[in-house]
Structure 1
């Protein structure tokens, strides 16, 4: 009776131990996640520590300016704001052309902090918004990966995402762009979809729609979500994985998510009228047909079910054909077949270079090189295939979604380098799964081998003891020569051997009751790796992780922390800082009138408006190709024709960026061919071959006359020969072709210290007319000399 009591008492003890272990694991996971969030925030502060708290790049300056307006004037003024400082003379309606998620998020944070009497400036909040949301994105990655493969994989994936360079490049302190909050919204939407898929909860489905709405507010990349999820739903239906949970996860997202997306002014009816959204509606119809078939299958007899299925499929096909016909009619009425230019560039990588050079001219829209993968995701590129294999062991609805996510993101990142940002979370998730599974295998093998070695030692001692005992039993009768005693004792032993004991019966019964335990142990023994191999593999994984950490810290500190508006370089005599951009914008702000218009290439429009507070002709929004082509045509034209174009646009100053003196490669001369292509796309008299010599772009003595006489060449190289006497361009590594020339319709207004930014002022037409009248007067002076000699006095025209 004692044994049952002991086993009964052991049950609460085992339950208590499991409870304590789970509680301790939960607390430990919480603290690890907290440390991951701190790490994600801290690693993005190098830009502030090494440089200063300043907004980076070009687009963030527009977002910063809009956030300032929101904080000062309120949300109602923000929705109705017409900005007359941009796209002169057209202007821009900000509330209807901007994704408001980032601005509203930062504005809300600023308002909350000020309500709590924490007086932070709008600029400070904007600078640190991206690092804060990078911590949120890491936690969202943990939740998503945990739903797929457990807590260990979730923690590993979160740690990887916190440091991955591809995400750091868009989320360092000061990178106040849409992606700063959009990546968190993307991952969190995917998590809620998988959570709904695993639980079938309508509550999580509603949260998923709200998260999708926030993603729509934040970034135009929301179309990736509304196409990837229907693809996964269709995959589940085709592979026979349809369930009520799948229906609950998808149907509310399409209905509620589309209604919420239509509330965003920049999206509006595009949520139901563009080709990017049609796939979700088509899958929505298909899933309802499949759900109805499953429903009638449960309530009808097999014979009636066949008839009903025929009817349902016929009606469903008719409805699908009608919907497809309507969609084809809508698509056919659009010159781009209902797709946006960027979407067509993703589907056809050659489309932008053929038809929309404005998209192809952006550096982040170019295809990536192989080294960029190693730079941006590093060792994750080698772990992704292992993670994909782990997702198939076993394959579930959640793991199939991860496989589909990584496959599509790899394709899109190969088309456009900017979408490496979408690949980064997928690579971290699959790599986290691979590392977690590998650690489980190696640590399990080590544990099994160590426990097996100890058990083998115990077996050897027991066998030695039994052999010694049997030997003694044989030797004792021989030494005493008691044969009779030996015969008597032999029979009971034989009978005892032949009779099964209680212990052997119990053992047989246990072996008969638990054959699976032996099978599991045998399977574990076969799957276990050798001890030495497991230890070496673990050490290699630790070294791989250390290499990843070192690379990520270097990328965060050196490659992605420098703000583009303040440039630095190191040489033998120390660190050199090039602050020419802010110098030029400060000059414009303090030395020009408030209503003066500044023309430049569209790259610098946002910065000019935000930092110089001057009206620009074009900016980074690039919504009007004709307007940009007009500026490109002016830069590509001779000086007089360019003056007439700029004068017609009421331009007073022209700004160009020149890197020939200091070796800054991203200057306007290197971008000039894109100005020619974009201008020539609208104005046919601008032809790219006129600027090329035998198909080569040159600025030396072999350059074409059209190139040497265009406005961009003159504004860039005016007085450049005075710097070194030769006119040697350090970017193009050659001497310029036309060194000595004068400007007739423009005059130099300001050149920064390192000649990186040059500002020219248009000469007014009166000055040129007065010059002509003076020449005409000098010509007629000889004919009118006799009256002057006679003492007649000329009347002063200014009196």
Structure 2
């Protein structure tokens, strides 16, 4: 009970000043009190840690509970003073805000959306928290980010560099800090209020509260994003889509306490607050939008994509307003406030990361939003202040931009961003070819990730067509040629996208930009953009959100469809797209009724809303069926007991005086749970070291492994059973490694020429890899042909299956040894060929003597074996697997210079060897 009261107190310490400041800043803004309150809660969670960060950057103030409480007092005092100054502190005001004196049914009737949205938020939090809140949730990156927060709460600051990983170089730790200051502030209050000592498990559990919390608040942001443009019911459906989207449940679950959830949340906050500020022409909301941008830049590297979207919107909307004679000074000031938030955030981040002063206000990553705000100012001043004609003003602007593009580095940067954006979702190095999240998405995963009704391509095609039909309906009475042209254009691009894409890609390839049209999603985007421009031009009402929605949904979907890593962004876009489709369909039905006078306007609105709600509730019901399976999946996502035991052993026996060489996946676990140094980690800042390690494990000589151990000051080697299914990746990386693969770091142990000449072809396409692969063998139900053996024998099928499928007849083992008889046309004709009859032995792994003319089969399950020495004679090759350091260490537990010092007692999954050959120098 006491812990719950402490958590509640911490929430009040952060939220009360934020809510008070929200009522100060949003005074007079057309938002319901409960909406202002929830916006205040959002910024309450951001303002206190932002203040702590600024105090560290400016004065070197260390984070502790006293500083957090001081900042809460400062914010509370400022808010109270401002409320008093605004005369908002009075009995009448409090009664109005808290609905005192109203009957409950009156309060419910007036604020029913608040209760529905709060229920959705509670459900969103529960679905992400209930089954994934665990210190041993199986993830890699969240462990590192909690490790960074650990520095903050133990030392009061995060070191710039240390030797946790990548020796002989240093590891950089000053990642965007705001999320760490937020969760770190929660933890220091919790720890000190309860009088506890530091606990990394409790720190993990504290940090894991934040992703579900922000996911719940995202549902509220989705509601206010959609409410003004459409209807409260459409907005509620949109909030429900965010709450129920399977991929958003998985990637914003408690155990995924990395920076990505923070980045996704701040992205939505930027879009929502900027749209509200622009639509209402409110400087007060613009300040919140600027603060959201500030938080995004300081919170994660994810800030780039929302700023690119907003920059594109500013440019496009500026031109649309300019040619409609509706460009005004308020819009320019709002854009400037948002750009200022980006500049200020970048300056603080540069100071925090000790970057040179030159990058404080000249950052490449926020260049777009700075440049995007300038044309509006130029066009406004030239046409409305200097009274220059629109044609001359626009021509002059184009001339200035052209000169800047040619004479200054801006043009090269702009071109680089466009080209990078077109291919940025594709692997750019050999290492990225082996990372699962770098692979493209595929149709088979859409149903489980998004739901059956959220298939990306059909959904986005429908969206593009609906926008085109809306543009047709708006423009038909004013310009029939344009209205017909836009609908034909959209239908051609959506229905014939394959052929159009091939033609456009050919043209774009001349400019090295062919990647832009590599997906039909970009054709849908083109169709929707043209339709929106026509819609906006002929519509009597300025519908700003329509433009912004299109710029949010399609580019994000393009990236998400290219890479698994960005599927969560795709789910973000699809949640918005579904609500957008429902809202636009309802508006289209009403508009068609107004044109053809089918029924009264009131009846049309009622029927249209009823129809849309029916569809919306069907979609919500379908999405709801995905929640329990997703929660069950999260429940089973835990680090195994073998690893937990290994962490404890590392703490006691290795610690900070040693360094562990393992595959990069386990680096964060080693440094945080094992409290030991590592050679590699999932940050992969020096991917050359990954290739060097792969080479040492797969095909390097013993001397190569010794060199790697000494070069990286490693004292131990850790190998585990999961490297077997990952072996294809290691083999591929070992094959592409050669001495001069990188201009940054030379790899002296790798050969002069790589075993795999073209790494872009991906894994599994070379003879080199076949010579180093494990062979999986499975007992088959097929009968052994009598022409191979007159005696009835069982058969086994090999993972080396191709059209000339290796199928073996297997003699019964005598003293665990027998023969594998290869079934092939050649062997039927002549069984005397060496590869047609091959001895095998069933082994647990450890062998005193190795016979290279025998296969060693390790049982890995019922009727399944792993062959440590495959026979490759049928393709004219010889296996080199038994010579690999990994096979020698993990399976044979015997490699000169290394001593087995730990084997996990539960399943033997993890094994650690001490380097004793050529005495490794201890880490300092």
User: Normalized against structure 1, the TM-score is what?
Assistant: 0.69
Give the equivalent residue in structure 1 for 2:571.
Answer: 424
Question: For the residues of structure 2 that align with 1:146 and 1:526, how far apart are their CA atoms?
Answer: 19
**Match runs of 1:736-755 below 5 Å:** 736-737=868-869, 742-752=894-904, 753-755=906-908
Give the equivalent residue in structure 2 for 1:177.
Answer: 258
Give the equivalent residue in structure 2 for 1:363.
Answer: 436
Give the equivalent residue in structure 2 for 1:248.
Answer: 333
Question: For the residues of structure 2 that align with 1:629 and 1:517, how far apart are their CA atoms?
Answer: 66
Give the equivalent residue in structure 1 for 2:127.
Answer: 43
Give the equivalent residue in structure 2 for 1:129.
Answer: 210
Give the equivalent residue in structure 1 for 2:450.
Answer: 377
Give the equivalent residue in structure 2 for 1:688.
Answer: 755
Q: Aligned-pair distance for 1:398?
A: 0.8
1:720 paired with 2:782, answer no
CA contact (8 A) 2:590 2:601 kept: no
1:283 paired with 2:399, answer no
**Structure 1 unaligned residues grouped into runs of 5+:** 1-18, 449-515, 567-578, 705-716, 768-799
Question: For the residues of structure 2 that align with 1:403 and 1:520, how far apart are their CA atoms?
Answer: 30
**Match runs of 1:303-702 below 5 Å:** 305-306=388-389, 310=392, 312=393, 316-328=397-409, 331=412, 346-348=421-423, 352-353=427-428, 356-378=429-451, 379-381=453-455, 385-386=461-462, 393=470, 396-435=543-582, 521=599, 542-558=617-633, 560-563=634-637, 565-566=639-640, 579-592=641-654, 594-636=656-698, 637-659=700-722, 665=725, 667-668=726-727, 670-677=729-736, 681-682=741-742, 683=747, 685=751, 687-689=754-756, 692-693=766-767, 696=770, 698-700=772-774
Counterpart pick for 2:246 among 151, 165, 184? 165
Question: For the residues of structure 2 that align with 1:630 and 1:281, how far apart are their CA atoms?
Answer: 42
Question: For the residues of structure 2 that align with 1:433 and 1:44, how far apart are their CA atoms?
Answer: 25
Cα distance change, pair 610–115 in 1 and its aligned pair in 2 (3 A): closer
Counterpart pick for 2:867 among 708, 727, 735? 735
Give the equivalent residue in structure 1 for 2:781.
Answer: none
Counterpart pick for 1:60 among 136, 139, 142? 142
Question: For the residues of structure 2 that align with 1:436 and 1:296, how far apart are their CA atoms?
Answer: 39
Question: For the residues of structure 1 that align with 2:424 and 2:595, how far apart are their CA atoms?
Answer: 57
Question: For the residues of structure 2 that align with 1:669 and 1:586, how far apart are their CA atoms?
Answer: 30
Give the equivalent residue in structure 1 for 2:487.
Answer: none
The alignment partner of 1:699 has SS state of coil
Q: Aligned-pair distance for 1:161?
A: 0.5
Question: For the residues of structure 1 that align with 2:708 and 2:213, how far apart are their CA atoms?
Answer: 46
Give the equivalent residue in structure 2 for 1:494.
Answer: none
Give the equivalent residue in structure 2 for 1:223.
Answer: 304
Cα distance change, pair 158–593 in 1 and its aligned pair in 2 (3 A): closer
Cα distance change, pair 622–202 in 1 and its aligned pair in 2 (3 A): same
CA contact (8 A) 2:735 2:768 kept: no
CA contact (8 A) 2:857 2:866 kept: no
Question: For the residues of structure 1 that align with 2:661 and 2:756, how far apart are their CA atoms?
Answer: 26
Q: Which moves more between the two structures, 156-165 or 247-256?
A: 247-256
CA contact (8 A) 1:165 1:375 kept: yes
Q: Aligned-pair distance for 1:434?
A: 3.5
The alignment partner of 1:747 has SS state of strand
The alignment partner of 1:620 has SS state of coil
Give the equivalent residue in structure 2 for 1:504.
Answer: none
Give the equivalent residue in structure 1 for 2:179.
Answer: 102
Cα distance change, pair 718–161 in 1 and its aligned pair in 2 (3 A): farther
Question: For the residues of structure 2 that align with 1:326 and 1:190, how far apart are their CA atoms?
Answer: 34
Q: Aligned-pair distance for 1:85?
A: 2.3
Query: Relative CO higher for 1 or 2, CA cutoff 8 Å, sep ≥ 6?
Result: 1
Question: For the residues of structure 2 that align with 1:69 and 1:528, how far apart are their CA atoms?
Answer: 57
Question: For the residues of structure 2 that align with 1:249 and 1:625, how far apart are their CA atoms?
Answer: 42
Higher helix residue share: 1
CA contact (8 A) 2:655 2:674 kept: no
Cα distance change, pair 137–523 in 1 and its aligned pair in 2 (3 A): closer
**Structure 2 unaligned residues grouped into runs of 5+:** 1-102, 475-534, 536-542, 758-763, 776-797, 801-841, 849-854, 870-880, 883-887
Cα distance change, pair 595–155 in 1 and its aligned pair in 2 (3 A): same
CA contact (8 A) 2:735 2:769 kept: no
The alignment partner of 1:229 has SS state of helix
CA contact (8 A) 2:379 2:394 kept: no
Q: Aligned-pair distance for 1:70?
A: 1.3
Question: For the residues of structure 2 that align with 1:267 and 1:279, how far apart are their CA atoms?
Answer: 23
Question: For the residues of structure 2 that align with 1:349 and 1:216, how far apart are their CA atoms?
Answer: 20
CA contact (8 A) 1:130 1:176 kept: yes
Q: Aligned-pair distance for 1:251?
A: 2.3
Cα distance change, pair 430–721 in 1 and its aligned pair in 2 (3 A): same
Say how many residue pairs are matched: 625
1:41-100 deviation per Cα after TM superposition (whole angstroms, max 9, x unaligned): 111134347xx44344111111112212212222xx32x4542322223223423xx121
Cα distance change, pair 109–388 in 1 and its aligned pair in 2 (3 A): farther
Cα distance change, pair 358–678 in 1 and its aligned pair in 2 (3 A): farther
CA contact (8 A) 1:605 1:618 kept: yes
Question: For the residues of structure 2 that align with 1:423 and 1:540, how far apart are their CA atoms?
Answer: 22
1:87 paired with 2:169, answer no
Cα distance change, pair 27–641 in 1 and its aligned pair in 2 (3 A): same
Cα distance change, pair 591–262 in 1 and its aligned pair in 2 (3 A): same
Cα distance change, pair 27–615 in 1 and its aligned pair in 2 (3 A): same
Q: Aligned-pair distance for 1:152?
A: 1.7
The alignment partner of 1:293 has SS state of helix
CA contact (8 A) 1:163 1:553 kept: no
1:140 paired with 2:237, answer no
Question: For the residues of structure 1 that align with 2:245 and 2:173, how far apart are their CA atoms?
Answer: 33
**Match runs of 1:294-305 below 5 Å:** 294-296=383-385, 300=387, 305=388
